[in-house]
Structure formats: structure tokens, C-alpha cells
Structure 1
Amino acid sequence: MTPETLIDFVYDEAATLDEMRWEDWLALFHEDGRYWMPLEWQQQDPILQPSLMYEDQLLLTVRVERLSGERTFSQKPKSRCHHLLQRPRVLSLGEGDGIFRLRTSFIYTETRGDNLERYSGWVSHKLVEVDGALKIKLKRVDLINFDAPFGNLQLFI
């Protein structure tokens, strides 16, 4: 797997979210994949320490179904998002363990009606190859203002 292929994957994943293609985004996850947003700076454990989010395939599916549903009144009007990404840094090409690691700085904007929220931080991806396709084993979102009060995130960073 080339570094360019890994970098393109991260950009394409963000575009999938910005285009509200929820099912396509969910399909990018490995069956054991996790979406994690830590509550602490440099937090190492999502199980024994509280997190803003720590979602497996089941919870991600429930959220995607809610976003896609016609009876989701909290999404009228629908939320929209935009990811502004710095070029992802490839940290590992899977040497030894088969896990490709990337880290990306971002600014994320989410809007619904006249409400606009901005978040910034870093996304760490752990990717694996399954049948020739990349899958997300872990997507970790570290917000720079993790300890500040903020409203509900409706979509996915």
C-alpha cells in the first residue's frame, strides 16, 4: 500500500461525510472498527476512562439510521458538515502488524439552520487491508478543546 493511497483514503472518507453518504461511510469501517473521541488529553483507554464517544459498528449503524430516517425531527432541517484537512501524515505503513497509521490536523464545521459550530484537532486513523480494500479499524478524534462545554455533535468528525 503506497502512502498516496492511504492519504487519498483519508481525504475520500472526509468527502463521504461532507456529501452525507452515511451508508458509504459506514461501509469503510472494519467489522471490529471503532470511532473514538477521547475526553482527556493523551487518553489511552476508552473503556476504563470516560470518552465523549466510543462507538462500535452497532452504535455507528444506529446513528447512521437516525441520520437517514425521515422521522428524525431533530434533523429538520438537516445538519451539514465540512472537513478542512491538512495533508495527512503517514506514521506507519503496516510494518510488522499490518496496521497503517495516519494523523491529520483538521478544522470541522457543522451547521444546521442558522447554528454554526466549529471544532479543530487531530484525527488518527488505524487502517487495515481486507480483500484488497482499506477498512477503518480505529478512527480517533482528539479535539483541541475537549474540556470545553459544547453542544451535541449531530454528525461525524
Structure 2
Amino acid sequence: MSASDRDLIDFVYAEARMLDELRFEEWLNLYTDDGHYWMPLAHGQADPRLHASLMYEDKLLLRVRVERLAGQRTFSQQPKSRCHHLLQAPSVERDHPEAAPAEGRHVVRTAFHYVETRLDAQTLYAGWTTHHLVEQDGVLRIRLKRVDLVNCDAAFGNIQLFM
């Protein structure tokens, strides 16, 4: 495939739109089988296994969350939560140690504001996302999505959806 910068940037925008439109099954299919969604608990956290995280979920756990969000008996989602991503222009990180475009590995960093709402409650989060993308069978897939919140060490209520 040999993804261009435009392909990588368009991928990030398309992924955010899937989440905003609550297309979670389609979103989950963007992940590799060994993919992870990680939200560190501390600034500069280097390892999700040796330190506590707000979230560190493999594809199986993501599947469980997606099924819960779709469930008719998920009373915490009646009515359903909604979300909106406002993204700064994504930047392709060529100097990142995990980036190897010739091998089909790319890293894209995007600053964001994210709003999650349900009923009268609206919560704003800010931070940046680092997508570790790989080319598989001619398409881009997420191997790791790292979501660093500016206030990652704050006390949070339930984060219902995906940033």
C-alpha cells in the first residue's frame, strides 16, 4: 500500500468521525488482532503493564465494551451517551522510534478537545492521541491508540465512550 501522509491524516479524521457517529463495530474493525487502546494515568508513562492506567484494553476488552454500549439492558446508556471530537491537524511523526514507513509502520500525533454528553451532563477532555498504525493487506490498521489527557491524574467519573 505504502501510505502517504494524506492517507494517514485522513485515517485519523475518519476514525474520529466513526466514534462521533457511534459506529463502534466499524471502529473496532480498524484494530489489528493484537491492537490496544491505552489511556495512561501519569504524564510520560512509558509502560502500561508496570503502572496503573486509566484504560489499557486489548481487542477482546474493546469488543466487550462495544457490546455493552450496544446492549438493550445497559441502563447507564439509556439514553445513550454522545460525543464529539475536535481535532488539531494530525502530524506524521517521522522521528518516532516506532515509525518505519518502509516497513509499513507509522505514528501520527493529534491534539484534541473531546466532549462526552449524556442527559444534562457534558464533560470536556483535552489531550493528544498517538496512533501507531500498520499497513496490513493493503489497508491501515491501529496497533496502538494512546490517549494522553492533559489532566490524566485528575479524579474522573465514568468515561463511557472512546476518545
Can you give the 5+ residue segments of structure 1 that lack an aligned partner in the other structure?
none
Is residue 2:154 matched to residue 1:152?
A: no
Q: TM-score, normalised by structure 2?
A: 0.94
> Aligned equivalents of 1:95 and 1:22: distance in 2?
28
Identity of counterpart residues, as a percentage?
61
CA distance in 2, matches of 1:95, 1:136: 14
Matched, 1:100 2:106: yes
Structure 1 match to 2:56: 54
Q: CA deviation at 1:18?
A: 0.2
In the alignment, residue 132 of structure 2 is paired with which amino acid?
Answer: K
1:97 positional shift: 4.6
Instruction: Specify every segment of 5 or more residues in structure 2 that has no aligned partner in the other structure, as ranges.
Output: none
Q: Taking structure 1 as the reference length, what is the TM-score of the superposition?
A: 0.97
Please state how far the C-alpha of 1:10 moved relative to its aligned partner.
Answer: 0.1
Q: What is the alpha-carbon distance in structure 2 between the residues aligned to residue 60 and residue 7 of structure 1?
A: 23
Task: Give the RMSD, CA atoms, in angstroms.
Answer: 1.0
**In structure 1, C-alpha distance between the alignment counterparts of 2:10 and 2:68, rounded to whole Å:** 28
Which one of the candidate residues 23, 26, 29 is aligned to 1:24?
Answer: 26
**Structure 1 residue aligned with 2:81:** 79
What is the aligned partner in structure 1 of residue 12 from structure 2? Answer: 10
Letter matched to residue 17 of structure 2: A
Instruction: Find the aligned partners of 1:72 and 1:2 in 2 and give their Cα distance.
Output: 41
> In the comparison of the two structures, how many residue pairs are matched?
157
Q: Alpha-carbon deviations, 1:108-140, whole Å to 9, x = none?
A: 000000000000000000000111110000000
